[in-house]
Amino acid sequence: MTIQEIWDKGKDILQAAGVLEYKTDAWLLLSYVTGISRAAFLCHRNMPISKEQEAYCNQLFAERAKRIPLQYLTGEQGFMGLTFQVNPYVLIPRQDTEILVEEAGKILKEKQDAKVLDLCTGSGCIIISLAYLYKFGLAVGADISGEALKVARENAKRHKVDVSFVQSDLFTGISGRFDIIVSNPPYICTGVIASLEPEVREYEPILALNGKEDGLYFYQNIIKQAEEYLVPGGDLLFEIGYDQGEQVSGLLAAYGYTDIKIKKDLAGLNRVCMGKRKVEKRCLIN
Ligand code: GLN
pLDDT digits (tens, 9 = 90+) for 191-233: 999 999 999 999 999 999 999 999 999 999 999 999 999 999 9
Q: Which of 91, 197, 200 to mutate to test the pocket of ligand 1 (most atoms within 8 A of CB)?
A: 91
3-state secondary structure of 218: helix
Q: Residues near ligand 1 with C-beta < 6 Å?
A: 94, 184-188, 200, 209
Would you give the DSSP letter of residue 29?
H
Q: In angstroms, what is the span from residue 186 Cα to ligand 1's centroid?
A: 7
pLDDT at 281: 59
Kindly state the DSSP code that residue 113 receives in the 8-state scheme. T
The confidence score (pLDDT) of residue 254 equals 97
pLDDT at 285: 57
Name the residue with the closest Cα to ligand 1, atom 5.
209
Distance 35 CA to ligand 1 centre (A): 31
**pLDDT(66) > 90:** yes
Are the CB atoms for 207 and 230 separated by under 8 Å?
no
**Span from the CA of 188 to the centroid of ligand 1 (angstroms):** 7
In this prediction, residue 280 carries a pLDDT of 74
Residue 190 banded pLDDT, cuts 50, 70, 90: very high
Classify 259 in phi/psi space as left (phi over 0), alpha (psi -120 to 50) or beta: left
Taking residues 243-247, report their average pLDDT: 98
pLDDT of residue 282: 57
Global pTM value: 0.94
Contact 223, 257 (CB under 8 A): yes
How much is the CA Rg of the chain, to the nearest whole Å? 22
pLDDT of the residue at 284: 58
pLDDT mean over 68-74:
98
pLDDT at 93 over 70: yes
Pairing relation of β-strands 76-79 and 82-85? antiparallel
pLDDT of amino acid 112: 87
Q: Mean pLDDT over all residues of the chain?
A: 96
**Rounded Cα gap, residues 179 and 234, in angstroms:** 5
pLDDT tops 90 at residue 234: yes
pLDDT at 24 > cutoff 70: yes
Percent of the chain with pLDDT over 90: 97
Q: What is the DSSP code (8-state) at residue 280?
A: P
What's the pLDDT at 279?
Answer: 85
- CA-CA distance, 124 to 118, in Å (whole number)? 8
* Of 176, 170, 144, nearest in space to 225 by CA: 170
What residue owns the CA closest to ligand 1's atom 7?
186
Ligand 1 atom, smallest distance to 91 CA: 6
- Torsion over CA of 177, 139, 152 and 122, rounded to 10 degrees? 40
pLDDT tens digits for 254-283?
A: 999 999 999 999 999 999 999 999 887 555
Give me ligand 1 centre to Cα 192, in Å: 11
For 140, half-sphere exposure in the C-beta direction (CA atoms, 13 angstrom radius) is: 23
- Using the mean position of ligand 1's atoms as its centre, give its distance from the Cα of residue 203 in Å: 13
Alpha carbon of residue 57 to chain centroid: 27
Closest ligand 1 atom number to CA of residue 196: 10
Atom of ligand 1 minimally distant from the CA of 187: 8
Task: Indicate the top mutation candidate among 94, 120, 190 to test ligand 1's pocket, ranked by most ligand atoms within 8 A of CB.
Answer: 94
Question: pLDDT tens digits for 116-132?
Answer: 999 999 999 999 999 99
For residue 217, the model assigns a pLDDT of 98
| Ligand 1 atom, smallest distance to 239 CA | 9
CA distance 240 to 244: 6
